[in-house]
Structure 1
Amino acid sequence: MINKAGWMPLHKLLDRRDCDKELLRLFFEINEAKRQPVRIDGCDKRWTPLHLAMIHGNRYAIDLLMRKSVDPNSAQEKESTSVLSRIRKSIEVDGELVDEFDDQNNLAPARKLRFNESSGKLDPNLANANGTTLLHVYSRNDCYQQLVDLLPQQLLDINAQDELGNTPLHWALSGEYDKLLIELLLRSGADRNAANVQGQRPLHYICKRKDNEIRDIHDLMEVFFEIDGEVEVDAIDNQGLTPLQLAVANARPDMIDILLDHGADLSKFVFPRCEQLR
């Protein structure tokens, strides 16, 4: 049964993070008992059930769908079969499930998988049309556990830059605040002085945040400075702004104190102009 959006019951079951494993198992058992085939490669306007399972990180459903997938030699739709076949070949890196993402930086299996033809596996460092890698997307989308699993294996380029020059650390600092994820990037070798095309370093990103999410900013900034290596605390972006000027503009005395404690030059400080902050 297909609704107006092209969805089948299996789409509805899988389009949620808390998909019930037992219900999914029973769904297949009942249909098999009634000899009613389940189209696991049925595609609505955009996604197959397997795509939805991957979007929500449902490993149980992914494994179940893989085991019940169509025969590559059957008369099913060629495109769907090809997608399933290539996912089957490239979904694992050293035995671990690796997510895909599309050119809009969504965590989802793209129609054209990022496939390393020489190795025959998915390459987690290949970028999409925007220069975005898997690590950028993980850093923006609160994927701490995925990073814990992959970073120690040195599979990911920690300082890859997208077309705007942003590294995964830039992305993590501009998305929803996740102290554990940001600290993991820092301790895994993220470049604290990497500048994007606007000349902004990660420290600029910390100091320009205007929300109240960073209640434990003191702890994060201490981690930022305690790692070996020099931090360019007085780095100037393309607008002529330093991190200290951004912290002052945001009325963040906690940030200001930490910057001064770590060598920010107060002797040359001038208040930023309004046009610089736009």
Structure 2
Amino acid sequence: MQTLIDHGANVNVMNAENKSPLHVAIENQHEEIISVLLCHPTIELKHRDRSGNTPFAAALGIRNHKAALRILDRFPSAAEQIDQRGRNFLHLAIMKDDLESVLFLIAIQVDVNSRVHDVNQSTPLHLAAASNNEMITRNLILAGARMNERDSVQKLPLHIAIERGNLPAVSALIQNNADYDATDADGNNALHIAVRCGQFLIVRELLTESRVNAEATNLKGRNPMHELCRIVEDNTAALICELFLECMPNYPIDVPDMDGNTPLLLSFMRGQSPLCKILVKAGACLGTENREGVNIFNFKLATDQLLHKLLDILPKESSWSECDLCQECTTRFTITMRKHHCRHCGRVLCSKCSSNDIPILKFGINKPVRVCSVCFNVLQSGIGSLS
């Protein structure tokens, strides 16, 4: 080969696969030939073969780090080259879960905060948040990757890790002071996102290992509990709700969203029986109405079975609701039309709609008290009256 070069052979000539002699030498691990070619003054180090690989990419691909380092001596920016999709070698190594290449690239001090040149503008840590290798995330952090950089849609690496259900990455980011209260473009913080995605283990991690604001509201006025009751399915929603109440016994479960919907009303409208039962047992107000005047008594499901079940398990007199109209017949209250409350469900009613009297033994009320017709029928039938 040296003789050919001495007689004017082209060191950059391409074969049928568009590979240069250096590509071939690297792939065949011919160290002496690699050394000779890299010493040639006209060697071309930017050329790509038909697979899009430069000589540096070829060296990295077969773990020939010695050749990769020699190429960097001649062409210091070789490790920062990008492909047609705007990704550099660090981006690609992370996407392949290639820890060895990531560690090598970190060791040669590539930019650990370089962004993919595409519409998403992801950083290496955004990509690592979707990786299956926790050590990639941790090593990027140790190398100085900025944890609170945002991509083009205002998501942090922590948000991406939560959406992907990547608990190890979430733990690594939280342990290194990632901003769990930072919000995305919709105003959702880390807990909003974890709840919406039904990520029970990540919700637990956030509630036990961080001080995330569990009462924060997004741009639609919804806190994480609202999102839980709007979106998440039965079993997972019930588990997450129990976890909320276990970690935060005083969580404000009756706070309405911008539409006036409480968590109980949201879950009732979706027919989420397990979730409704947990909220009622935790003391949720039964009579709260949204801005359209809807409450759990006038929102019609296929049957009244769920409503009767909730009244059955009611452990104590519900918080009294407030309204300018009777919550049964919608008569407006005046000086002469007084307000009354059902001593069982807490709804505000006119005298006619609360004219039934009955003891509520499960509350320890042995004398007849004013109740609405719905509660009267439930209590009179004996359902729950002796619980």
TM-score, normalised via structure 1 length: 0.64
Is contact 1:173–1:206 with CA below 8 Å preserved after alignment? yes
Partners of 1:130 and 1:66 in 2: CA distance: 27
Alignment of 1:104-123 (within 5 A): 104=120, 106=122, 108=124, 121-123=144-146
Q: CA deviation at 1:252?
A: 1.0
- Higher mean alpha-carbon deviation, 197-206 vs 53-62, is at 53-62
Alignment of 1:69-88 (within 5 A): 69=108, 85-87=110-112
CA separation of 1:198 and 1:217: change in aligned 2, threshold 3 A: closer
* Aligned equivalent of 1:160, options 179, 182, 201: 182
Q: Structure 1 unaligned runs (5+)?
A: 14-23, 70-83, 92-98, 111-119
Q: CA deviation at 1:244?
A: 1.4
For this pair of structures, how many residues does the alignment match? 225
* Aligned equivalent of 2:253, options 233, 238, 248: 233
Mapped pair 1:125 → 2:151: no
Q: Which residue of 1 is the match for residue 371 of structure 2?
A: none
Name the aligned partner's letter for residue 279 of structure 2: L
* Aligned equivalent of 1:28, options 43, 47, 63: 63
Q: Which residue of 2 is the match for residue 17 of structure 1?
A: none
Alignment of 1:168-183 (within 5 A): 168-175=190-197, 177-183=198-204
Name the aligned partner's letter for residue 147 of structure 2: P
Q: Which residue of 2 is the match for residue 220 of structure 1?
A: 240
Q: CA deviation at 1:27?
A: 1.4
Is contact 2:88–2:116 with CA below 8 Å preserved after alignment? no
Q: Which residue of 1 is the match for residue 325 of structure 2?
A: none
CA separation of 1:180 and 1:266: change in aligned 2, threshold 3 A: same
Q: Which residue of 1 is the match for residue 91 of structure 2?
A: 51
Percent identical: 20
CA separation of 1:135 and 1:56: change in aligned 2, threshold 3 A: same
Q: CA deviation at 1:191?
A: 1.9
* Aligned equivalent of 1:202, options 220, 224, 238: 224
* Aligned equivalent of 1:8, options 33, 53, 57: 53
Partners of 1:209 and 1:26 in 2: CA distance: 44
Partners of 2:217 and 2:93 in 1: CA distance: 36
Please give the secondary structure, in 2, of the residue aligned with 1:28.
coil
Name the aligned partner's letter for residue 199 of structure 2: D
Which one scores higher on RCO, CA 8 angstroms, separation ≥ 6? 1
Name the aligned partner's letter for residue 157 of structure 2: L
Q: CA deviation at 1:224?
A: 0.8
Partners of 2:153 and 2:219 in 1: CA distance: 14
Partners of 1:273 and 1:258 in 2: CA distance: 19
1:154-205 superposed Cα distances (whole Å, 9 cap, x missing partner) = x122212234321011112223x32111110121222221111100110111
CA separation of 1:245 and 1:184: change in aligned 2, threshold 3 A: same
Q: CA deviation at 1:85?
A: 3.8
Is contact 1:10–1:49 with CA below 8 Å preserved after alignment? no
CA separation of 1:31 and 1:128: change in aligned 2, threshold 3 A: closer
Q: Which has the larger radius of gyration?
A: 2
* Aligned equivalent of 1:143, options 152, 166, 169: 166
- Cα RMSD, aligned residues only: 4.1
